Amino acid sequence: MRPLTASTDRRFVIDDFEPAYLATWREDRLAAKLEAARIELADCRACPRDCAIDRIAGEKGVCHVGRHALVSSAFAHFGEEDCLRGTRGSGTIFFAYCNLKCVFCQNWDISHAPAGEELSAEEIAALMIRLQHAGCHNINFVTPEHVAPQVVEAIAAAIPLGLRVPIVYNTSAYDALSSLRLMDGLVDVYMPDFKFWEPETARRLARAKDYPEVARAAISEMHRQVGVLRLAPDGVARRGVLVRHLVMPGQTDETAAIFRWLAQELSPDTFVNVMGQYRPEHRVPGNTRYEDIDRRPGREEMVAAYAAAEAAGLWRLDERR
């Protein structure tokens, strides 16, 4: 495994950088995105659930969120990948609720229950500016799939206030292509999970049988927009795709299939975080329906996951300092 640093491969270094949203703003393309975002909310197709409800009027569907996003927390996060947290942290804004229903969710207290405060676009923009002033390297929207239109509104409100750091879109990859196209020219770094390869696994564990198909289309669109991950000379992410994959017990074959797809359909230069922190949470502990995942992944499963990544040709694998 060859860890990437700014000194080892200049192909992945950006010396001069400007966030994508500034060009979109200067070229007067924000107004059209705002209009499209509000249309998406009025007959909600913001995510693949396609609830077709009027969230402008306050109606709520699978995600339980109406006109305004719920923000559970906003802070400088030092637990993200090195290339995101840098030395001053990633400016994370955690949205409450989620459009997936993962039975093992480690953040179930905010993704499966009401948490935090309903905020307007202007209030979220103020949080973004506060995090920038605190020195954060980026603004990191966590679980934005179901509030993509509200994210567009918040970015538009933050730019005139002086926003100048990269935008990170930290998602499960259960994203509507229409929402991702709204993000084109606004988001600098996409950080999708790729959770499951088999539809039946996704149905059983996340109530989303179409997740693998949706994730492949979504991650392909993200890659089309921003390409492979590129860094500043100091090693902090500036633009591109960073894929996370949570290694789960008993799913070695699915892990290998995901890694082959990433290398073959995107690029062997795709930056991947092979995550070993799965633990039984939420509905899993003691539940006989999920006894196959009622344990942490074993050492041999983690070794197999890294071997599968390398066999697929992936080499930019996240390593923590």
Q: How many Cβ atoms sit within 10 Å of the Cβ of residue 12?
A: 19
Mean pLDDT for 80-94 is 97
DSSP secondary-structure letter at 6? Answer: T
pLDDT at 104 over 50: yes
* Residues whose CB falls within 8 Å of the CB of residue 42, separated by 6 or more in sequence, listed in order: 54, 55, 56
How confident is the model over 241-280, as pLDDT tens digits? 999 999 999 999 999 999 999 999 999 999 999 999 999 9
Give the pLDDT of residue 10.
Answer: 81
Residues for the chain: how many in total? 321
Q: 293: which 2 tokens?
A: 């995942």
Phi, psi at 167, each rounded to 5°:
-100, 130
Per the model's pLDDT, the better-predicted residue between 10 and 152 turns out to be 152
How confident is the model over 1-39, as pLDDT tens digits? 344 443 458 899 999 999 999 999 999 999 999 999 999
Q: 111: which 2 tokens?
A: 């993704």
CATH number of the structural domain 10-312: 3.20.20.70
Axis-axis angle for helices 299-312, 252-261 (nearest 10): 20
Contact status, residue 172 vs residue 195, Cβ threshold 8 Å: yes
Give the pLDDT of residue 115.
Answer: 86
Q: How confident is the model at residue 114 (pLDDT cuts 50, 70, 90)?
A: confident
CA 64, 99, 108, 298: dihedral to nearest 10 degrees? 170
* Residues whose CB falls within 8 Å of the CB of residue 148, separated by 6 or more in sequence, listed in order: 37, 40, 46, 47, 175, 176, 179, 180, 182, 183
Helix (H) or strand (E) holding 238: strand 237-246
Give the pLDDT of residue 208.
Answer: 98
Q: How many Cβ atoms sit within 10 Å of the Cβ of residue 58?
A: 10
How confident is the model over 51-79, as pLDDT tens digits? 999 999 999 999 999 999 999 999 999 99
Question: Domain spans of the chain?
Answer: 10-312
